Amino acid sequence: MAKIIGGITTSHIPAIGIAMDRGLEDTDYWRDFFAGYPPVREWLNEQQPDIAIVFYNDHGLEMFLDKKPTFALGCAPQYENADEGWGIATIPPVTGETELSWHIANELIEHDFDPTICQDIKVDHGLTVPLSLMYPGHKYQHLKVIPVCINCERHPMPKPSRCYAFGQAIGRAVESFAGDQKVVVFGTGGLSHQLDGERAGFINADFDNECMDKLVSDPQALTKYSNDDLIEIGGAQAVELNMWLAMRGCLLGKVREVRRNYVAPISNTGAGMQLLINE
Ligand code: DHB
Ligand code: FE
């Protein structure tokens, strides 16, 4: 049986990747943000997971408003990034995973979730920035990645409760996979933020901290929110919390918080990070 060893949540803003490429981690602006990550990198280095399931959102690179899967699952041997408007980032392609991916696809459909199955997709900062953050120098190619994409851009979006249940279904699918792989799960993006409109720059740090508390002890409480609630309380892009909820669903049972970091603002976001391990 494949085993989920824990979950990691992190902001995915493109500026993080740029700061690392330019060696700005120890500058006044970035110091507190990057200080959160070495213990998580050490944990990954100790644990040596074989596979990462990464919940992310496609911000319009591959899945634009005209074709927007509610949930999408990557089943490809490799994923490349592409031009998001500033030229193609010169980072290595992400290694895919095909056997567990297809097992998850089959199990999801068997349990009444019907994702779009993707054998050829480009991945954006929502997926690549967290990997580069965990493996500095973009040294993530040893890790087999299963991208799981949740619509956070185009209404109607899947409800927080549904994203949590989707994560649980994936967690159970992993547990039923005949293999001895160690799996880590990422929830990326968030927390409170709004990138445009009248409330551009809006952040709600109290709400962000409450979300991180509840993610550990009572994730069900977060599933009571609607997407409209999240937008009102945390800004238009706070719906990215849904990826954190899907990650938490995957962990299935009780978890222990090993690390947490929170800095706001980083770019336009409340930048949270957590390392949760299965009890
Ligand atoms: C920012 C936040 C995001 O979630 C994103 O996808 C891109 C940029 C930001 O705050 O800069
Ligand atoms: Fe985002």
Residue 19, helix vs strand vs coil: helix
Ligand 1 pocket: which of 237, 239, 242 to mutate (most atoms within 8 A of CB): 237
pLDDT tens column, 129-176:
999 999 999 999 999 999 999 999 999 999 999 999 999 999 999 999
DSSP assignment of 200-259:
TT---HHHHHHHHHHHHH-HHHHTT--HHHHHHHH-GGGGGHHHHHHHHHHT-S-EEEEE
Ligand in closest contact with the CA of 152: 2
Q: Domain 3-278's class? A: alpha beta
- H runs (alpha helix) in the chain: 14-21, 31-35, 38-47, 99-110, 125-134, 160-175, 205-217, 219-222, 227-234, 241-250
Domain extent listing, the chain: 3-278
Report the nearest-CA residue for atom 8 of ligand 1. Answer: 13
Report the nearest-CA residue for atom 10 of ligand 1. Answer: 268
- pLDDT in the model for residue 89: 81
Task: Give the atom of ligand 1 at the shortest distance from the alpha carbon of 269.
Answer: 10
92 Cα: distance to centroid of ligand 2 (angstroms): 21
234 Cα: distance to centroid of ligand 2 (angstroms): 13
269 Cα: distance to centroid of ligand 1 (angstroms): 7
Whether 52 and 145 have beta carbons less than 8 Å apart is answered as yes
pTM above 0.85, yes or no: yes
- pLDDT in the model for residue 186: 98
Which amino acid belongs to residue 33?
F
Which parts of the chain register pLDDT below 70? none
Task: Give the atom of ligand 1 at the shortest distance from the alpha carbon of 11.
Answer: 4
169 Cα: distance to centroid of ligand 2 (angstroms): 24
- pLDDT in the model for residue 87: 84
CB neighbour list of residue 163: distance below 8 Å, 6 or more residues apart: 150, 242, 243, 245, 246, 249
- pLDDT in the model for residue 196: 94
- pLDDT in the model for residue 207: 98
Task: Give the atom of ligand 1 at the shortest distance from the alpha carbon of 189.
Answer: 4
- pLDDT in the model for residue 86: 84
Catalytic residue list: 125, 193
Q: Which residues have CB under 6 Å of ligand 1?
A: 13-15, 59, 189, 193, 195, 237, 240, 267-269
- pLDDT in the model for residue 88: 84
